[in-house]
Structure 1
Amino acid sequence: MTDRHVALVGNPNSGKTTLFNRLTGANHYVGNWAGVTVEKKEGFTTYKGHRLHIIDLPGKYSLSAYSLEEKIARDYLLEEKPEVVINLVPAANLERNLYLTLQLIEMELPVILAVNMIDELEQKGLKIDFEALQEALGIRVVPISSARNQGIDTLLDEVIQFEPYPEFRQFTYSEVVEKALDQLGDEPRWQRIKMLEKDLEIPPEHPAEDYLLEETVIKERYEIINRLLEKVIFREKSYRSPSDAIDKVLLNKYLGLPIFALVMALVFYMTFSIGNIFVDILDEFFSVTLSGGVAGLFERLDVSPWLLSLVSDGIIGGVGGVLTFLPNIAILFVFISLLEDSGYMGRAAYLMDKWMQKVGLNGKFFIPMLLGFGCNVPAIMSTRTLENPKDRLVAILINPFMSCGARFPVYVLFASVFFAGYEFMVVLSLYLLGILVAVSVAYLFRKTILKGEESFLVLEIPDYRIPRMRNLVLHVWERVKDYLVKAGTVIFAASIILWFLLNYNFTGGVALVDSFGAMIGRAIAPVFSLAGFGNWQSALSLLSGIFAKEIVVSNTAIIYGLGEAASLRDLGGALAANFTPLSAYAFLVFVLLYTPCVAVIGVIKRETNSWFWMFFSLGYQLVIAFALSAAVYQLGSLFAG
């Protein structure tokens, strides 16, 4: 069996990840917006006795390394030298996508052009002469639809029997460019072109000012593409994209943002309306059926009381307390995935651009912020798409303010207890507050410690499309699986540890108020008095939430479950005895803004490559969380009289 390394290369949102999943059987998330892949992914497939090592490289518009993910892709192609490079281009958007293709050809890489999404050609009234395109480019061209599994076997046949095209095409530029190339020494032609594009350093013996022809090279490359396309692509009927008509409303400068806010409010409303039906069922199962069944079984087996308490109060109370809110999590991500796959979520960056420009940012900052609604870890990694290093650092530092899915169960618990009937409005306010704080802090950083040149938004807006069921199921399953895995590992372990802390001190088994946990909570509780939740139970839950935000829910369930509480209704009564609606909202503000979980802390260190920025991030977020939660409580108390 022979091995062959195959790189997948293409513009953002060209279908690379869909093809990667199709070839390798992987289930990586596919989004209808640019920037889903920000690091290379690897997988394997076997085809007709050949073992193919598939590498999905981050999407890029050119081989000029303006951003980190573009540098990752370019360096891989230059240093690893894959045996075959599959360049994916959307069939209906060849003009922009062939720019990268020409660069790959100029570098004399072993390229196969996979013209993707051919199923959209007829709908858009287009026809492509693929044989003429192959002749014009001098590389193999294979029409495919990775989403519909069309042409994949033909593509794999070309990969395993790859040979360079008989007639290599060398694209010729204008006389002034060719003269400049001739005078740049004996380096390979592609390197001399990269020198003109200012992507490789011009040798010191050459006067740089004579050869800085980057704009000329770009302009002439597009002229080559346009001349080529005139011969290979034909319009058979007129076509106007429905996306244009929809965007006249959804991207309207007056209606766009209110509609976006209304859509998000509807998402949260449906999440609670539908989710709470299943929450009640799960609550009944964990607090009555399972807990009661375990208690009865342990009594018949004459199991020690401490073990019964550990399993019933600690494990079932903690893990079950988190799993009870799984329906809300799943339903939230169903709606988020629908918005992303339809193409609407990618337009949010455009909607926000005008307002973010006012604070020295641009809409591209908003893409990692939106990803943060799912999980801050991949969201912070997605900042690699930002070209300016200072912009990227700002985006990393503000991302933890975006309300990730792990905080959502905390919101559900407290909103259901203290704001019944208005839960969706409370949760929406927290999400909007996170955005407001993030943008405000970014503005402050850009004006002080991270000053830099103003950047502008260049964004690819994809067409709207009907969400694919496979993408929806995979996306939601990945989130649900992560939630279940965390419940079975981190939260399971934390529940056992907390049960021990709440049942013992130096003298052995003790009452709850004399336990290690109560001691720790009382030691730090006074710090939270200004914010209205200066009780030891809240302090202990928040402290443990640094490991995973879901633990705030599990610990709350365990702490109050060790008393009289068992079900969510009883837990709500226990919470109502320790919080008012105002202090509960201040508590949620603190949960929204304070120190992120250890996974996010780790990725901040990795992406900034700096201990300083990691600790700076932890410190300033904690200060802001204290300040705003205290402000909410104190001002609320003042107005409430």
Structure 2
Amino acid sequence: MCMGFGCNAAGIVGCRIIDSPRERLIATITNNFVPCNGRFPTLIAIITMFFVGGFAGAFQSVLSTLLLTGVIVLGVLMTFLISKILSMTILKGIPSSFTLELPPYRRPQIGKVIVRSIFDRTLFVLGRAVVVAAPAGLIIWLLANITVGDMSLLAHCAGFLDPFGRLLGLDGVIVMAFILGFPANEIVIPIMIMTYMATGHITDFANMNQLHALLVNNGWTWVTAVSTMLFSLMHWPCSTTCMTIHKETQSKKWTAISFLVPTVTGILICFLFTSIVRLVGLA
């Protein structure tokens, strides 16, 4: 779980130390509930713009830290909850004990570490860029630059998804941004900006106030902000994580389950939150 804060793919690889195949699968499926480095920028930006932007000085930093910590704690609690549900349903079994043995000390082999790092990490990431990121970038460009009528295909897709997004407290642009952000969570907000501004290329704002104004002008409220944070915390794994899950489990079925469990959970949580807020009249 802790390794997932850096990268969920690394957290999946870290599950190798779990001897029980059943508990290893549970840890693999639920690792995505821990926010990785790719999702932290989205969470921090939303917290800063919609919840602590009116404060100044040290209090702003403290409040931002507390809110971000609350989001992280929620992710950890969801990990425990979904793990419990999985252990009582599709992965029912007898819990095993956990023993961590201290291996004998061996002198580091610098050359071997460098070589394995290059092959196991650098080349893997570059391979992902070729296999997933490059085609995804092409798809994003085509959707943003091919127009039908007076709107781009990206805008048409966002409009099609808008009714579904509204049920979750989001909108079609946000849902489309998460879909197109499958290769890397870091590009979710830039895709939102590109779609709202109809620029035809991924862009970003250096000034947080400009981004806040753009989002508010496109209908964002505090409910939208919270729902986006919840969905960012609980949605499908990125492409690298999915590839890692398939590599570790050697199973398309468990890769699909690892994709569906956080996705369905995120949809249900956002729907319940939005429905409750609208029911009590706060939206």
TM range (shorter): 0.7 to 0.9
Distance in 2, Cα, partners of 1:619 & 1:445: 13
CA 519–380 in structure 1, closer or farther in 2 if over 3 Å, else same: same
Matched, 1:602 2:243: yes
Alpha-carbon distance change, 424 to 634 in structure 1, aligned in 2, over 3 angstroms: farther
The answer for the alignment partner of 2:57 in structure 1 is: none
Give the structure 2 partner of residue 389 of structure 1.
21
Structure 1, gaps ≥5 residues long: 1-368, 462-480
The equivalent of 1:579 in structure 2 is 220
Contact kept? 2:154, 2:195, Cα under 8 Å: no
Structure 1, residues 211-265: CA drift from partner, whole Å, max 9, x if none? xxxxxxxxxxxxxxxxxxxxxxxxxxxxxxxxxxxxxxxxxxxxxxxxxxxxxxx
The TM-score normalised by the length of structure 2 is 0.77
Residue number in structure 2 paired with 1:32: none
Report whether the alignment pairs 1:516 with 2:157: no
Would you say the 8 A contact 2:155–2:195 is kept in 1?
Answer: no
- Of residues 539, 542, 547 in structure 1, which corresponds to 2:175? 539
Counterpart Cα distance in 2 of 1:493 and 1:598: 12
- The aligned amino acid for 1:393 is L
Q: Which amino acid aligns with 2:147?
A: N
Give the equivalent residue in structure 2 for 1:556. 192
Q: Paired residue for 2:263, among 610, 616, 622? A: 622
Rounded to whole Å, the distance in 2 between the matches of 1:502 and 1:449 is: 41
Aligned to 1:633: 274
1:471-490 residue pairs with structure 2 within 5 A? none
Task: Report how far residue 624 of structure 1 moved.
Answer: 0.6
User: Where do 1:215-294 residues align within 5 Å?
Assistant: none
Structure 1 residue 408, shift from structure 2 partner: 0.8
- 1:399 partnered with 2:31: yes
1:400 CA drift (Å): 1.1
Partner in structure 2 of residue 437 of structure 1: 78
In the alignment, is residue 410 of structure 1 matched against residue 42 of structure 2? yes
Matches within 5 A, 1:88-127: none
In 2, the alpha carbon distance for the partners of 1:434 and 1:640 equals: 27
Residues in 2 aligned to 1:416 and 1:495: alpha-carbon distance in whole angstroms: 28
Identify which of 480, 491, 498 aligns with 2:140: 498
Quickly say closer, same or farther: Cα 1:540–1:405, change in 2 above 3 A.
same
Could you say which structure has the higher helix fraction? 2
Work out the CA distance in 2 between the residues paired with 1:444 and 1:502.
41
Determine whether 1:589 maps to 2:208: no
Question: How big is each residue's C-alpha offset from its partner over 1:21-46, in whole Å with a ceiling of 9 and x where there is no partner?
Answer: xxxxxxxxxxxxxxxxxxxxxxxxxx
- 1:502 positional shift: 2.7
RCO higher in 1 or 2 (8 Å CA, sep ≥ 6)? Answer: 2
Q: Matches of 1:549 and 1:579 in 2, distance apart?
A: 20
More strand by share: 1
AA aligned opposite 2:156: M
Are the aligned partners of 1:494 and 1:551 in contact in 2 as well (CA < 8 Å)?
A: no
Structure 1 Cα separation of the partners of residues 239 and 162 of structure 2: 22
Could you list the per-position Cα deviations for residues 293-336 of structure 1 after superposition, in whole angstroms to 9, with x for gaps in the alignment? xxxxxxxxxxxxxxxxxxxxxxxxxxxxxxxxxxxxxxxxxxxx
Say if 1:501 and 1:375 are closer, same or farther in 2 by CA, change over 3 A.
Answer: same
Measure the CA separation in 2 of the matches of 1:560 and 1:499: 15
Q: Distance in 1 between the 2:276 and 2:7 partners? A: 31
Normalising by structure 1, we get a TM-score of 0.36
Amino acid at match of 1:537: V
Structure-1 residue corresponding to 2:90: 449
User: Offset at 1:390?
Assistant: 0.7
Displacement of 1:584 in angstroms is 0.9
Cα pair distance change 1:537/1:602, threshold 3 Å: same
RMSD of aligned residue pairs (Cα, Å)? 3.0
Identity within the alignment, %: 26
In 2, Cα distance between the equivalents of 1:495 and 1:574? Answer: 24
Q: Does 1:373 align with 2:5?
A: yes
1:326-380 CA-to-partner distances (Å, cap 9, x unmatched) read: xxxxxxxxxxxxxxxxxxxxxxxxxxxxxxxxxxxxxxxxxxx111011011111
TM superposition shift of 1:639: 4.0
Per-residue Cα deviation, 1:586-610 (whole angstroms, up to 9, x for no partner)? 1111111111111111111121111
Change (3 A) 1:523 1:493: same
Match of 2:109 in 1: none
Closer/same/farther in 2, CA of residues 425 and 460 from structure 1, 3 Å limit: farther
**Secondary structure, in 3 states, of the residue corresponding to 2:5?**
coil
Letter in 2 for 1:618: F
Corresponding residue of 1:164: none
1:494: Cα distance to partner? Answer: 5.6
**How far apart are residue 497 of structure 1 and its match?**
4.9
CA contact (8 A) 1:590 1:625 kept: yes
Q: Given that residues 6 and 36 in structure 2 are in contact (C-alpha distance below 8 angstroms), is that contact kept between their aligned partners in structure 1?
A: yes
Residue matched to 1:147: none
Partner of 2:55: none
What CA distance in whole angstroms lies between the structure 1 residues aligned with 2:197 and 2:99? 52
| 3-state SS of 2:47 partner | helix
> How does 1:328-339 map onto structure 2 within 5 Å?
none
CA drift of 1:498 comes to: 3.3
Q: Which residue of 1 aligns with 2:164?
A: 527
1:634/1:408 CA distance change after superposition, 3 Å: same
Supply the distance in 1 between the matched residues of 2:138 and 2:20 (Cα, whole angstroms): 45
Q: 1:613 to 1:496 in 2, by over 3 A?
A: closer
Give 5+ residue unaligned stretches, structure 2: 53-59, 103-121
Q: Which has the larger radius of gyration?
A: 1
